[in-house]
Structure 1
Amino acid sequence: MSGRRKVGNLLALAVLSALVQRPMHPYEIATTLRGWGKDHDMGIKWGSFYTVVRNLERHGLIAAVESVRAGRRPERTVYRITDAGRAELVDWTRELVSTPVAEQSRFRAGLSVLAVLHPEEATALLRRRLALLEEEVGAERAALAEHLRTLPRLFLVESEYDMAIREAEVAWVRALLAELGSGSYPGLAEWRAFHETGVLPAEPDGPGERSGSAP
């Protein structure tokens, strides 16, 4: 689990994935990761890059092999991945692929307080979101098809995942909008009445209460 990782920042995983290709100096590692789009895949914060590299070396996951100088540029240390680093890279990847972890979503946060909006406004905003999602999915589908012309599918599997998640969200938002539009959404009348009269709907109690609600 990530709690036992000697260096738990996902940027460390990215650095190890670069060095497994060949030894590199930090600037080359960063350039490679940007070229691969790893800053998008892992939400990399570049301000901690050199700290992560130092921590990887301190824990024996990478090792300095030489220092090089090009022209008047400062001397750069070239690093290689160690056997311990390779083992960490493989084990970490196994964990990430096999073990689901709850991840925070801004959309979920908004949905959790959707009741503060009038149903008509919520519907209009969801329609706006749906239009943007459909546009994004179309662009992602075209980009993926283009990339598949030159790259093996294995190196685009994360893009397939992103598109699948977006398509699932599109389907869910469409279904929610259909319920709101037809008036079949449970509690819609009470939701509307709350905004029009200020009267709060009755709160559930007993076994039917949502788990995790305040006592």
Structure 2
Amino acid sequence: MVDDAASGDAATIRRRANALALAVLAQLAERPMHPYEIARTLKDRRKDESVRLNYGSLYSVITALVRDGLIEPAGTEQDGNRPQRTVYRLTGAGRTEVDDWMRALLGAPVKEYPQFMAALSFLPLLAPDDVADLLRTRLVALRVKVRRIEDDLEDLEHTDGARGETSELAVAGSRYELAILRAELAYADVLVRRIADGTLGGIEAWRAAVR
């Protein structure tokens, strides 16, 4: 027989590995919504930049949250001739969960496993010159992403500023992403230059190993 507490802990761990579940709880903490409204609001607020969003996953997450007692149906809505949509609301347990989850995310750093970090761990699989060329390609893409976010933030600040509604809270995620991208850009740029000029420690052994 499975211990109820252990089963509950396992469900919490699985749920907290899925940022889309947090996004759903966060939206319903504002007000009851149907799934389409949740998705539309996340996209309008550009939260899909930080949370992987698709409708199949969204409905799976909503089903799981209902099963776990964190959200519940609150009625239905119908827009014209479109099918009725179920509106969901946060339960008391859901309010507690989203509060605990946010506190854990903000207060305790956890080990994450970015794919780029994994690639850096295995650089000697490729020749140094190939690595440098690939990193130069990456640098171009990073600069494009940095510029896009900078432009988006500037446009948002101009738009909201004209309405007197500029909010740092609304762009905190984008500013964090921008800081991370700039740090990666700076690191990769230095790495490329050190590979190219031969000042990277161990590069001669690296070159010899892949000949």
**By the TM > 0.5 criterion, same fold?**
yes
Aligned match of 2:85 = 76
Q: Pairwise CA RMSD of aligned residues?
A: 2.2
Provide the secondary structure at the position in 2 that maps to 1:73.
coil
Where do 1:8-157 residues align within 5 Å? 8=16, 9-149=18-158, 150=160, 151-157=166-172
5+ residue gaps in structure 1? 197-215
TM-score, reference length from structure 1: 0.80
What does the per-residue CA deviation read over 1:102-139, in whole Å, with 9 as the maximum and x for residues that have no partner?
Answer: 22222222222211222122222222222322232222
* Pairs aligned (count): 195
Q: Which amino acid aligns with 2:175?
A: E
In 2, Cα distance between the equivalents of 1:132 and 1:68? 43
Contact 1:115 1:191 in 2 (8 A): yes
Aligned match of 1:190 = 205
In 1, Cα distance between the equivalents of 2:151 and 2:81? 44
Q: 1:64 to 1:109 in 2, by over 3 A?
A: same
What does the per-residue CA deviation read over 1:133-186, in whole Å, with 9 as the maximum and x for residues that have no partner?
Answer: 223222222221221231411110110110101111111112212322332211
TM-score, reference length from structure 2: 0.81
Contact 2:28 2:89 in 1 (8 A): yes
Aligned match of 2:180 = 165
Q: Percent identity?
A: 41
Give 1:4 deviation, angstroms. 5.6
Contact 1:67 1:76 in 2 (8 A): yes
In 1, Cα distance between the equivalents of 2:11 and 2:77? 34
Based on CA coordinates, which of the two structures has the bigger radius of gyration? 1
Normalized per residue, the structure richer in helix is 2
Structure of greater relative contact order (alpha carbons < 8 Å, 6+ residues apart): 2
In 1, Cα distance between the equivalents of 2:141 and 2:86? 45
- Asked whether 1:5 is paired with 2:5, we answer no
Contact 1:10 1:44 in 2 (8 A): no
Give 1:3 deviation, angstroms. 4.8
Give 1:31 deviation, angstroms. 2.0
In 1, Cα distance between the equivalents of 2:190 and 2:119? 18
Q: Which amino acid aligns with 1:120?
A: D
Provide the secondary structure at the position in 2 that maps to 1:20.
helix
